[in-house]
Amino acid sequence: MDRKNYRTHVLVCAGTGCVSNGSLNIKSALEEELKKHGLDGEVQVIVTGCQGFCERGPIAIVQPDDVFYQSLTLKDIPPLVEEHFLKGRPYKKCMYVPGKKEDAIPKMMDIDFFKHQMLVVLRNRGRMDPEKIDEYIAFDGYRGLAKALTSMTPDEIIEEISASGLRGRGGAGFPAAMKWRFAQKADSDVKYLICNADEGDPGAYMDRSVLEADPHAVLEGMTIGAKAIGAVKGFIYVRDEYPLAVDRIKKAIEQAKDYGLLGENILDTGFDFDVEVIRGGGAFVCGEETALMASIEGQPGRPRSRPPFPAERGLWGKPTNINNVETWANVPIIIHRGAEWYATLGTEKSKGTKVFSLVGKINNSGLVEVPMGIPLREIIYGIGGGIPGGKAFKAVQSGGPSGGCIPASLLDLPVDYEKLAEAGAIMGSGGLIVMDEETCMVDVALYFINFLVDESCGKCTPCRVGLVRMKEILERIVAGEGTESDIGSLEALAHTIKNSALCGLGNTAPNPVLTTLKYFKEEYEAHIRDHRCPAGVCKALITHRIDPEKCTGCTVCARNCPVDAISGERKQPHVIDIELCTQCGSCREACKFDAIIVE
């Protein structure tokens, strides 16, 4: 790697979020500007994978100064280069400012969002170019593989993973080593291995980010797993919605092959292993392992009952081991640094770290990696900086459509597999969607049931029919037409579906309803008894009104109303005709004076 010749590096984020905000243009502008000042021999611009703080993009970090720049625009580049690189003083305008009255924070490691994180899986994010294998190697990449292939037996590899306590990051938290052992023991000349990068949970994007920021870590992990199990071929099943991830992993495969780290006779040890990328067809249920395998075989992705488990009969009937992206990305560092080190991280039963996507109604939204067992409060307030606009925290949704909503009273819950399950949620893939007082929990329950009705493959009756019945009841409730018996019916349906559905989709589908009923029953009751939506979301139960004290008669609301329901003279308070109003909220978004009230 030729980084040594430069005194300073500017690491420009090129994750999907920052690229959509124009970070690649920022990169070119930086290079041009540096050249103009004759600094291009001293300062090197490097594009990296997602650095996590997506909301503030485009972002760039200057190293070794550790200065963090955010929300960059092309106009900022000339003054930034002049200030930082010519005059040697960080450029204040693009620094992170935590709150309105607070001072700008120049150094990345002084910013709460970064300070409290612990990077194991995301260790290479923001420090290397994911499209250059040399950079990965310079940061100890492929050392774990070299160790596994040259000085460990397959049993020793599995032993090491077992001692580390690594559990699957794809949802259920099944011990990785146990699954590997089943596949290893299976008697077959051909075995397969799969990396599950379908990432279907809405509100979760950690797998996308790992593939974009560190594709070689996933390949290295898979190759180590292949050696342990005796697999000849691996498949990475990636959502078609992730074009950048697909592109990066394909490049990584080519490079690894060129370097003799993948393909035939890897590292001259006589071991062969090849990897192919398969693009998913856009069906949530294809994240389920048996459906995913059907999809790789070119069939519609419908799950089948287990047993037989994939370790016995998987792809094309052959023994197959499937793990999630993040699970695979943990493997190289466990082998390289040792299980003993890894097992010091996390809690007794949940070892290591977990990457979460901290999103929704939160100040600092982005991707965060923390040790298992950290309290929710620390993630939401310590790292996330709390709720925007001084609003009150209501709940955090964990685990996607199979998960649940955790209320404020459980904010001190330590986050690990067991504790989340006790609360009625699950770890899932790691989406944490924060909700505030303006989020309606009945609407959220309906949102997930709608999602699951759409995504149910239709094979088993409890899921295909039962979920539709739940949806109908919830639709009645949000329309203000619910009855007292609806809550009981929802609970009864939920338990039946949980116990009788064919696959994990149906078994866990009622969780969003059950947890919102458990912790937010009074919100359901307000809809049913008082025909009121306390959060002001359900259109049938709210009215928009203009506060005559605050209205300045600027006419913006009237011009934005799609149904011409607002009238009034210029400079006079306006009024909404409730007969015409569709409660779409356009006026409220357009009003600059907070004069539109929702009741």
Partner 1 sequence: MEAVHRIIENYGKRDRSLIAMLQDIQREKGYLPREALKIVADEVNVPLSRLYSLATFYKAFSLVPRGRHIVHVCTGTACHVRGAVKLIDKLEQTLEIKNGETTADGRFTLEEVRCVGCCGLAPVIVIDEEFHGKLTQKDVGKVLEKYE
Ligand X SMILES: Cc1cc2nc3c(=O)[nH]c(=O)nc-3n(C[C@H](O)[C@H](O)[C@H](O)COP(=O)(O)O)c2cc1C
Instruction: Let me know if 584 is exposed, middle or buried by CB neighbors in 10 A (0-12, 13-18, 19+).
Output: middle
Q: Which does 503 bind (CB under 5 to 8 A by kind): partner 1, ligand X, none?
A: ligand X
Question: According to CB under 6 A, which residues from 421 to 460 bind ligand X?
Answer: 429
Residue 10: beta bridge partners?
A: 45, 62
The SS3 of residue 249 is helix
200 vs 221 by CB, closer to partner 1: 200
C-alpha 203/C-alpha 405 separation (Å) is: 13
Q: Is residue 312 within the footprint of ligand X (CB under 6 A)?
A: no
Q: Which does 163 bind (CB under 5 to 8 A by kind): partner 1, ligand X, none?
A: none
Q: Which does 170 bind (CB under 5 to 8 A by kind): partner 1, ligand X, none?
A: ligand X
Say if CB 308 and CB 318 are below 8 A apart. no
Contact region for ligand X (CB under 6 A) — 184-192, 318-326, 511-519, 576-584?
A: 318-326
465: CB partners within 8 A, 6+ apart: none
Q: Which does 225 bind (CB under 5 to 8 A by kind): ligand X, partner 1, none?
A: none
Q: Is residue 416 within the footprint of ligand X (CB under 6 A)?
A: no
Task: State the sign of the Cα–Cα–Cα–Cα dihedral 59, 362, 359, 333.
Answer: positive
Contact region for ligand X (CB under 6 A) — 13-21, 54-62, 93-101, 286-294?
A: 286-294
Query: Which runs of consecutive H residues, i.e. helices, occur in 139-242?
Result: 143-151, 154-164, 176-185, 206-213, 215-229
Q: Which does 196 bind (CB under 5 to 8 A by kind): ligand X, partner 1, none?
A: ligand X
Q: Shortest approach of partner 1 to residue 162 CB, angstroms?
A: 32
CA nearest to 273, candidates 202, 225, 204: 225
Contact region for ligand X (CB under 6 A) — 73-81, 149-157, 162-170, 243-251?
A: 162-170
Q: Which residue's entry shows tokens 């809690």? A: 347
C-alpha 515/C-alpha 394 separation (Å) is: 13
Backbone angles phi, psi at 159, to 5 degrees: -60, -45
Tokens coding 326: 């993040």
Contacts with ligand X by CB under 6 A: the residue count is: 22
234 vs 504 by CB, closer to ligand X: 504
Indicate which single residue of 160, 214, 289, 443 sits in contact with ligand X (rule: CB under 6 A).
289
CA nearest to 363, candidates 586, 10, 53, 124: 53
Q: Is residue 310 within the footprint of ligand X (CB under 6 A)?
A: no
Q: Which does 282 bind (CB under 5 to 8 A by kind): ligand X, partner 1, none?
A: partner 1
| H helix or E strand, kind and range, residue 11 | strand 8-13
Q: Which does 324 bind (CB under 5 to 8 A by kind): ligand X, partner 1, none?
A: ligand X
Backbone angles phi, psi at 231, to 5 degrees: -90, 145
C-alpha 543/C-alpha 528 separation (Å) is: 17
Q: Which residues form the interface with partner 1 (CB under 8 A)?
A: 16-17, 19-21, 53-55, 57, 199-205, 208, 239-243, 278-279, 281-284, 295-302, 357, 359-361, 365-367, 397, 400, 431, 433, 435, 439, 444, 447, 451, 457, 560, 562, 584-586, 589-590
Say if CB 555 and CB 505 are below 8 A apart. no
Q: Is residue 314 within the footprint of ligand X (CB under 6 A)?
A: no
123 vs 169 by CB, closer to ligand X: 169
Q: Is residue 285 within the footprint of ligand X (CB under 6 A)?
A: yes
451 vs 520 by CB, closer to ligand X: 451
173 vs 482 by CB, closer to ligand X: 173
C-alpha 275/C-alpha 268 separation (Å) is: 18
Cis upstream peptide for 106 (omega within 30°): no
Q: Is residue 503 within the footprint of ligand X (CB under 6 A)?
A: yes
Q: Is residue 168 within the footprint of ligand X (CB under 6 A)?
A: yes
Q: Shortest approach of ligand X to residue 198 CB, angstroms?
A: 4
| H helix or E strand, kind and range, residue 504 | helix 504-508
Q: Shortest approach of partner 1 to residue 122 CB, angstroms?
A: 14
Q: How far is CA 566 from CA 560, 581, 593, in A?
A: 9, 8, 16
CA nearest to 508, candidates 456, 434, 430: 456
Q: Shortest approach of partner 1 to residue 214 CB, angstroms?
A: 16
174 vs 316 by CB, closer to ligand X: 174
Question: According to CB under 6 A, which residues from 195 to 214 bind ligand X?
Answer: 196, 198-200
Question: Which amino acid would we find at residue 120?
Answer: V
Q: Which does 54 bind (CB under 5 to 8 A by kind): ligand X, partner 1, none?
A: partner 1
Residue by residue, what is the 3-state secondary structure of 315-351?
HHHCCEEEEEHHHHHHHHHHHHHCHHHHCCCECCCCE
Contact region for ligand X (CB under 6 A) — 18-26, 321-329, 478-486, 541-549?
A: 321-329
Q: How far is CA 170 from CA 122, 162, 256, 301, 426, in A?
A: 16, 17, 25, 18, 11
Tokens coding 254: 């080519």
Q: Is residue 352 within the footprint of ligand X (CB under 6 A)?
A: no
Q: Which does 239 bind (CB under 5 to 8 A by kind): partner 1, ligand X, none?
A: partner 1
Q: Which does 422 bind (CB under 5 to 8 A by kind): ligand X, partner 1, none?
A: none
Indicate which single residue of 322, 380, 494, 538 sits in contact with ligand X (rule: CB under 6 A).
322
Q: Which does 198 bind (CB under 5 to 8 A by kind): ligand X, partner 1, none?
A: ligand X
Q: Is residue 505 within the footprint of ligand X (CB under 6 A)?
A: yes
Task: State the sign of the Cα–Cα–Cα–Cα dihedral 197, 281, 425, 209.
Answer: positive
Q: Shortest approach of ligand X to residue 326 CB, angstroms?
A: 8
Q: Is residue 234 within the footprint of ligand X (CB under 6 A)?
A: no
Indicate which single residue of 123, 169, 248, 419 sits in contact with ligand X (rule: CB under 6 A).
169
48 vs 357 by CB, closer to partner 1: 357
Q: Shortest approach of partner 1 to residue 402 CB, angstroms?
A: 12
Contact region for ligand X (CB under 6 A) — 32-40, 107-115, 472-480, 503-511?
A: 503-511
Q: Long-range contacts of range 568-577, CB-CB < 8 Å, 24 or more positions apart?
A: 573/546, 573/548, 574/546, 575/546, 576/544, 576/545, 576/546
Half-sphere exposure at residue 524, Cβ-oriented, CA atoms within 13 angstroms: 25
Contact region for ligand X (CB under 6 A) — 109-117, 167-175, 252-260, 551-559?
A: 167-175
- Judged by the rule CB under 6 A, the positions of this chain that interact with ligand X are 168-172, 174, 196, 198-200, 285, 287-289, 322-324, 327, 429, 503-505
